[in-house]
A and B are shown apart, each in its own frame.
Chain A
Amino acid sequence: MDSANSQYLSPWAKKSLTFFLWLSPLFSLGPFLAFGILFAFPKEFRLRLKAIAVIAVYILNWILFYPVELLHRSSMEWEGKINAFLAQDGTTFRLKFGFFIVCFLFLLSNYLHSLFRNRKRELVRQVRANREFPNSQIRTEMRVRDSKFDTILLVLVLALVFQYLFLYITESLNPQKNLSPLAPLYDVHQFVFNYSISICILVFSFNRNKIPSLLAKPYLRYMEGIRIRESWKQAVKTEGKFPLRLELIIKQKAKFRDQLLPGFGHIYVYEYWRGFPILFLTLLLYLFSAVWVFSYISPIFGIQFLAGFGLKPGIPDKDFFISSQNIAYAVFSLAALVGLYFYSAMILEKSFSLENLGIKKDKDGESEPFFKPGLRKGFRNVLPLSLLFHLVLLCLVFLIPISIQRGKKKEQSAQKNDHFRPEKMEFYFIDPNVPDDTQGLNGGVITGNETENKEKGEKISNEKVADNGPVKGYIKKIRGKKVPPTYSNYISAKMRIPESYMDYWAKAPHPYSSVVAYTITQDGDVIDVELVEASDYPDQDLRTLQLVESLGPLMPPPGTKSDIRVTELFWNGPIDPEFVPTPLQKEMINLFDGRYMEEIPE
C-alpha cells in the first residue's frame, strides 16, 4: 500500500515533513505547504493523506465561517444581528460544544464503519482458515485501531489537550486580546480549527498511519488517479507502452478536476504553463465577479468585501460608487468566468486528441505530446498566459492594498480654526424632510439624540470645540428616524476597513476615549488630522491618528461647496456619558457614531 518511491524520502525526512506540515498553520503557511507536498511528492501515500487532511480542515473552516463574515460585512442590519447573537451569554460555549458533538458523531460513524469492514474482513479470513487449516485458530485480534471504541474517547479528550496547547502557543505569539464584537466568533473559529487539526493528528497517529475507514474509499480512488498518471509519465519518459484504457481514465479524472476549477485538470497532467495561468485567471475572475456583484448590491458591501482581503479600490470612491451601479461590469465578469470554464474544457479535450496520444499519425506536425516541459506554441496555448498578464496589470490599477496610497499626498491646509459649527452639521447628511415612516432605507440606523426640533435645540459654542465644547448655537437633530444612507454612515463603514486591518479594537485599552478632528476636502482627501483630546494611552492615541490618516481617499462630501471638518469621539467602553472623562466627550457620546460634521466656509 505504501508508496513505491521510498527511495526519495528517508524516514527522518518524512517525520520532519509531517511535523512541519501539522504545525504549518501555526507558522502562517496556510494550506500552501500542504499543496506544495502534493506537488513535490506525488507518490508519498501517507504524507499526501496528511496534506489532504490539512487542506480539508482549511476548507471546512472556510465553509463554516466565511459566509458569516461575509454576511457581517454585507450590511449594518446583519452586522447588528450577528453582534447581538454573539453577545449573548454562553453562545461561544454552545457553539464549541456543538462542534465537539459533531466530531464525536464523525468518529462514531467512522468506528461503526470500521467495525463493519473489519468484521467482514475477519469473517473472510475465518472462512478461509477453516477451509485451508480446519483445526487451527487465527491468533491476531482486530488490527485496525479505529475500530476500537476506547480510541474514539481517547482521541476526543486528547484533542482537547492539543487544542489548548495550540491556543497557548497562538496566544503567546499574539498576546493582544481581540475586543471587537466579532471576537467570540474568532474564538469559536480558533477552537474549531485547532480541534479539527488535533483530531487529524491523533486519528492518523493512533491508527498506525492507516486511513480512517470512512475516508479509505475516496482516498484510494484519488491515489489511483495519481498512480496511473505517474506510471504514464514514466512510460512516456522511457518511451514504453501504456494502455489506452488507462490514458482514458486519466482524461476522465483530468476533466473532472477541470470542471471543479478550470486549470486544475491541466495541472493534473503536468501542463503547468497552461494550467496555472488558467487557474489564476479563474481565481481572479471569481474575485472580480464577487466584487462587482456585491458592489452592485451595495457599494459599501463591495468595499468591505475587498477589505477582507486587505484591498481597496484603486480608483476614487466616487467613481467606484458610480461604476458599481452599472450591472454590465458584474455581467461581464460572470460571463468571462463561464467562458473560461468552456475554454479550459475545450483545450483539455484537444490535449487528449488521438494524435497527442500517439494513436493516430500526426500529419500536420501539430501534435503536442504530454510531459514535454515548457510553454507550448500556438495561440490557444499562449492566450491564457497573455490574458493573465493583462488581468494582473488591471488588478494593480483597480485593486490596491489598504496601506498603499495612490498619487502624491496633498499638503496639509492651514485651516484649523473654527472647525465646529453644529448648526450646519446635518443639512448635507440627513434630509429632515424624510417622513418618519420611511422603512429600511439604511437598515434603521438611529441617528441624533433626544432633542425634538430646532426650537428646542440647545445652544452651541461658536468657539473652537477643543476649548469649550458644544454649548452655544442652535442644533437640528433627528431622533429615531429611519433615514437614507448618510455620509456619516459611509465614513463609519470606510473606517471599519483600517480598523480591521490595524486590529484597532483588538489593541484598544478598555476603557479608552479620545477626540480627533480632521478635514475631508472636496477631493476626498483626509487632512489636518488633529488630536483634540488625548487619552492616558499615547500609543493608542497614535494608532487613532494613524487610523484616521489611513481613511482617505474618501468620496467627496455630497452637496457641499467646500471642505468639511469632522470632530469625532473614539471610545472603547459603555455608551454612557458617566464613563467618559470630559464634558465634550460626554456630549459627543450620544451622537450617531460620536461624530460632528460641519462645512468649512470658503
Chain B
Amino acid sequence: MAGFSKKLAQPYMTQGVNTNMGGAAATLDYDAELMLRVKDGDSGSFGLLLDKHRSSVIHFLFRMVQNHAIAEELAQEVFLRVYRSRATYEPTAKFTTWLFRIATHLALNQLRDGKNERTQERLDDDSDDMPARQVSDRKPSVEQSMVYESKLDEIRRAIAGLPDKQRAAVLMHKYEEMEYSQIAKVLGCSESAVKSLLFRAYETLRARLAHMA
C-alpha cells in the first residue's frame, strides 16, 4: 500500500461520479457508489467518503463517550474497518447506516468496558493537548462563559445519564437527523423499539433540562 496517501490527490473521476452499472444501480446512494469504487481499487473515493463523513462520525462518538481523544481513536477504527471491508462490501443498506452501525457498536463496547468513567474529560481541563472547546457565543464575557460552561456541563451529564442505547438513538435522531427506520437498522431493533427508546430518552431529558427554559 505504498504511496496510499499520494493517491488521494488523484480522485478516480475528475468530473463527478458517473455510474455505468446499469439500471439496478440507479437506486444506490452516492456514498454506496463511492464505496463500490473503493472496492474496485479506487482509493480516491475512500478519501471522498472520509471527507464527507469524518466530522459527523467523530462528533457522534464524542457525544457518546464524551472524551475527544477516545472519540477520534474510535473514529479511526471505524474508517479502518470500512477500508478493511472494501473487498466484500455489498450495498444492502444505505452507506451511512453501515457506517453508524460500526460507530455505534464501537461506542457501546467502549462504554460497556467502563473505560469512559476513568477517562471522561472534565470541563475545567485546559490541557494544551485538547482542541479549543466550542461554545455558542464566540466572544463571551467571563460571567457568560461560566454560564455557558455550566449549561454545557448539565447537558453533558443529562446525555451521559441516559442508558447507552437511548443515548445513541437521541444523538442519531437529533444530530444526524436520521429517520426512525434508519436508527432501527443501526441499532438492530424494530422501529417501534426505536420510538420507545426516543420517547423515554426525551422524557428524561425534558425533566432534567426543564429549568433551562
A in complex with B: no
Chain A positions near chain B (C-beta within 8 angstroms): none
